[in-house]
Amino acid sequence: MDILKTVIDYLLSLGAAIFVPIIIIIAGIAVKMKVKDAISAGITLGVAFTGMTMLISFMTGAITPAAEAMLKSTGISLPILDGGWTTMSTISWSWPYAFLMFPLMIGINVLMLIINKTNTFNADIWNVWGKIFTAVAVVGITGNIFLAFAVAAVQIVFELKSADAHQHRIEKLSGIPGVTCTHKMVFLAAIFYPIDKMLRKIPALDRKFDAETLKSKIGVFAENHVLGFLLGIVFGVLARYSVAETLTLAIQAATALTLFPVITKYFMQALSPISEAVSDFMNKKFEGRTLLVGLDWPFMGGSNEIWLAIIFTVPVTLLFSMFLPGNEILPFAGIINISIAVPAYLVTGGNLLRMIILCTIGSPIFLWVGTAFAPFMTQLANQTGAVELAAGQMISNSSIDAPVFTYAFSHVFKFLEGNFIPAVILLVWVTCFVFYYRDLMKEAKADKGESEITGTEEIA
């Protein structure tokens, strides 16, 4: 067991850019792809992951100092350090029982595939740390390891069901068939769903308004490079940068927005042959059933709407952090909040106006949950030595994935102490998820029916 744990820990330590392609290569060979094609697809996927990571780091490195300068000029002091997702991952993996989450995740996935309760094969095994994080939170609240794994198991099931439901919409938006997202960040879409339903009833917000629509209305000013440059100028002015610093930031923002769609093409190049091979294999083994490949979010990273929403959310989050009652976290490492933009993108179908509204509404949730998680994340960091903190310093994350789900399911046992708020939030989330799930499945079924009718008419 110790040897297996050492091997798995080593593979996971390599990161998503290496670990996920290895899983994809193995899966490709298992579904009868030619070895050279499977290896080529895996390497291309590694290139895509690395490219996206580089761009995100580049963008974060450009935006974070500007955000820090904006907040510093206010003189506001917030005591909780924002460690970002990387620090939360490090702390999670330092939990003594972290390794056991790996077989739990695979076991549940295999069982659900066998009994036909999911069509998703989760290849995003590297992000098993997200389940560990939830379990760590449960332990921090209850001290009960068995409850921690029980809640993590529930999360795994919801991830697979969510991936099944989102696949059709993801394919329409990304153009990549047979691939879906198993990351728990998409859980926030369930909370956004009823709000978006109400926003759709407003005539001005019910029209198509994606990046292409914006481009048709304002022309060259909506081109990625120009829009990025203009946004960089705005950030430089707000940060009180010099002219040279402002222009540098503008070019950096323009570079990032220009290259995101370029990197996404490599995801399509890698995943399309894998998807086709998996589909052919499943059709032979299980007639009428399609196996989906579950991945992390970056293959959707070519969507301009996601990045425009993320950039918009930066100053919004900073403003909330200054004046939001109950917030004590200083949002820096998590300021590029992908976890709010991706679910907003999925639930709205890429409507930029509604995405911006949802991101504005959702920003305080991340700050509140980040503040609530600080005590036990700090305690675990100090106990394990995973992160060095100064005496009395607290740490958390201002962009915790799926904040409503994670808070509700980890804190639900507070009802034993007479606090029923997390239980009510849990009930709300589950209710929203059920209705959202049904809506997504109806949409997929309706679109499939229309496609079949159109195909029949063409044949006739």
**Per-residue pLDDT tens over the stretch 336-353:** 888 999 999 999 999 999
Residues in the chain: 460
Residue 456 has pLDDT above 50, yes or no: no
Domain span at 18: 1-458
Count structural domains, the chain: 1
**CA 373 to chain centroid:** 19
What is residue 79's three-state secondary structure? coil
pLDDT at 252 over 60: yes
Among candidate residues 306, 283, 278, the one with its CA nearest the CA of residue 293: 278
Q: Which two tokens stand for residue 456?
A: 């029949």
* Per-residue confidence (pLDDT) for residue 2, from 0 to 100: 61
C-alpha pair distances (Å), 147 with each of 109, 152, 372, 413, 430: 20, 8, 20, 9, 19
Contact residues for 236 (Cβ-Cβ < 8 A; gap 6+): 66, 245, 246, 247, 249, 250
Q: Is the pLDDT of residue 328 over 80?
A: yes
Look at 210 and 329; give whichever has higher pLDDT: 329
What pLDDT, on a 0 to 100 scale, did the predictor assign at position 282? 66
pLDDT surpasses 80 at 412: yes
pLDDT of 229 strictly over 60: yes
Split at pLDDT 50, 70, 90, the class of 8 is low
Mean pLDDT on 386-390: 71
For residue 290, which phi and psi values (nearest 5 degrees)?
Answer: -115, 130
Per DSSP, 221 falls in state: G
Helix (H) and strand (E) counts for the chain? 16, 6
Of 83-97, 313-327, 336-350, 380-394, highest mean pLDDT: 336-350
Evaluate if residue 191 carries a pLDDT over 90: yes
Name residue 433's amino acid.
F
Among 38, 64, 56, smallest CA distance to 298 is for 56
d(CA 165, CA 136): 28
Which DSSP string do the residues of 133-175 spell out, in sequence order?
A: HHHHHHHHHH--HHHHHHHHHHHHHHHHHHHHHHHHHHHHHH-
Which phi and psi angles does 63 have, rounded to 5°? -80, -40
Which of 77-91, 111-125, 429-443 has the weakest average pLDDT?
Answer: 77-91
> DSSP class of residue 287?
T
Q: For residue 131, what are the contacts with CB-CB under 8 A and spacing of at least 6?
A: 101, 104, 105, 152, 155, 156
Supply 373's token pair: 């998680």
pTM for the structure as a whole: 0.81
Helix (H) or strand (E) holding 443: helix 421-459
253 confidence band (pLDDT: 50, 70, 90): confident
pLDDT score, position 137:
87
Reported as a single tens digit per residue, the pLDDT across 108-118 is: 998 999 899 99
pLDDT band at 279; cut points 50, 70, 90:
low
Each residue's pLDDT tens digit, 26-76: 878 887 888 888 888 888 888 877 887 787 678 777 777 877 777 676 667
Greater confidence (336 vs 9) lies with 336
Backbone angles phi, psi at 220, to 5 degrees: -60, -25
Lowest mean pLDDT among 121-125, 212-216, 324-328: 212-216
Q: Which of 94-103, 197-206, 307-316, 409-418 has the lowest mean pLDDT?
A: 94-103
Could you tell me if 440 and 186 are in contact, meaning their C-beta atoms sit under 8 angstroms apart? no
- Cβ atoms < 10 Å from Cβ of 245: 15
pLDDT tops 50 at residue 458: no
- Distance separating the N- and C-terminal Cα atoms of the chain: 62
Comparing C-alpha atoms, which of 296, 246, 232 is closest to residue 59?
Answer: 232
140 versus 407: the higher-pLDDT residue is 407
Q: What is the mean pLDDT of residues 398-413?
A: 92
- How does pLDDT run across 136-180, given as a tens digit for each residue? 889 888 888 999 999 999 999 999 999 999 999 999 998 888 889
pLDDT at 417 over 90: no
Angle, helices 352-384/338-348, rounded to nearest 10 degrees: 140
pLDDT score, position 451 = 52
How far is C-alpha 135 from the chain's CA centre?
18
Higher pLDDT, 104 or 9: 104
Q: What percent of the chain has pLDDT over 90?
A: 32
Average pLDDT of every residue of the chain: 83
Q: What is the mean pLDDT of residues 417-439?
A: 95
Q: For residue 82, which phi and psi values (nearest 5 degrees)?
A: -90, 105
Higher-pLDDT residue of 288 and 430 is 430
d(CA 29, CA 20): 14
d(CA 144, CA 128): 20
- Residue 301 confidence (pLDDT): 82
- The tally of CA atoms less than 13 A away on the side-chain side of residue 420 is 3
Q: Which helix (H) or strand (E) holds 381?
A: helix 352-384
Whole-angstrom distance, CA of residue 410 vs CA of residue 190: 18
Beta bridge partner(s), residue 87: none
